[in-house]
Amino acid sequence: MAEKIDQQAINEQARSDEESCRMESKELRRKKRIKCIVLFIIVQIIQTLILSLTVMRVRTPKVRLGTVTFPNLVTGTQFIPYFDLTMMAQIKVKNRNFGPYKFESTNATFTFQGVTVGHVLIPEGKAGFLSTEKVSVTLNMSSNALMPRFSRSLGSELGAGVLTLNSQAKLSGKVTLMLVIKKKRSAQMNCTLAINLSAKTIQDLNCR
């Protein structure tokens, strides 16, 4: 009889242990689930942050002059100053966005001390995903517009053997991200080029 009671007590004890164990595991599961949800939210926030800092960030494209050559270059002297030249130039549109940059056609202007000496049309185009579009242009320039006001300063540059010109252009366009998000961005070119007249090459090219 005593043994039977003992057995019953043991069984009861075991049952209550099992019960509390199940309760405990339920509580544990609940905590685990909350942990999982919090972790998921944190991962989402980090992903959104990374996306907005990389893929979704809109960077203004850069425009600069690349290779420049002179198939034709005729210049006068310090005392009879003039120039007549044909320039072949590469215009580079660098797009650092995770999507294409489409730009409208625009004029690039070349100036000598602020006076326009030549311009050329940059046709509309597209710089792809993280790439640089190279546009080749050819134009003629002459010193006609500089005379007679700038004959002295042109003369001194010709005498020194280096002609300094400035090149500017403003590209208007749109960056497309994730195929649908469009952001307007205009890119500005502002380069100073020093032409070595005896070598007929670019001696110094500075773009800002």
Ligand X SMILES: *[C@@H]1O[C@H](CO)[C@@H](O)[C@H](O)[C@H]1NC(C)=O
Stretch that binds ligand X, among 6-14, 40-48, 100-108, 151-159 (CB under 6 A): 100-108
Minimum gap (Å) between residue 138 Cβ and ligand X: 5
User: How far is it, in rounded angstroms, from Cα 107 to Cα 183?
Assistant: 22
For CA atoms 64, 70, 71, 76, give the dihedral sign: positive
Locate 190 and state its tokens: 């502002």
Minimum gap (Å) between residue 140 Cβ and ligand X: 4
- Binds ligand X by CB under 6 A, chosen from 52, 71, 199, 204: 199
Query: In DSSP terms, which residues pair with 109 in a beta bridge?
Result: 119, 168
Alpha helical stretches, state H, 94-177? 151-160
Question: Cβ closer to ligand X: 87 or 99?
Answer: 87
Query: In DSSP terms, which residues pair with 188 in a beta bridge?
Result: 170
Stretch that binds ligand X, among 17-25, 31-39, 42-50, 188-196 (CB under 6 A): 188-196
Residues in region 102-161 near ligand X by CB under 6 A: 105-107, 119, 121, 138-140, 161
Minimum gap (Å) between residue 124 Cβ and ligand X: 9
Q: Is 167 in the site for ligand X (CB under 6 A)?
A: no
Task: Tell me the CB-side half-sphere exposure of residue 148, using CA atoms within 13 A.
Answer: 2
Q: Is 60 in the site for ligand X (CB under 6 A)?
A: no
Q: Is 77 in the site for ligand X (CB under 6 A)?
A: no
- Binds ligand X by CB under 6 A, chosen from 86, 90, 151, 153: 86
Nearest to 156 by CA among 75, 67, 74: 75
User: How far is it, in rounded angstroms, from Cα 162 to Cα 160?
Assistant: 6
Sheet containing 132-142, strands listed edge to edge, beginning at the edge strand earlier in sequence: 62-75, 83-94, 132-142
**Which residues contribute to the site for ligand X (CB under 6 A)?**
86, 105-107, 119, 121, 138-140, 161-162, 168, 190, 192, 196, 198-199, 203, 208
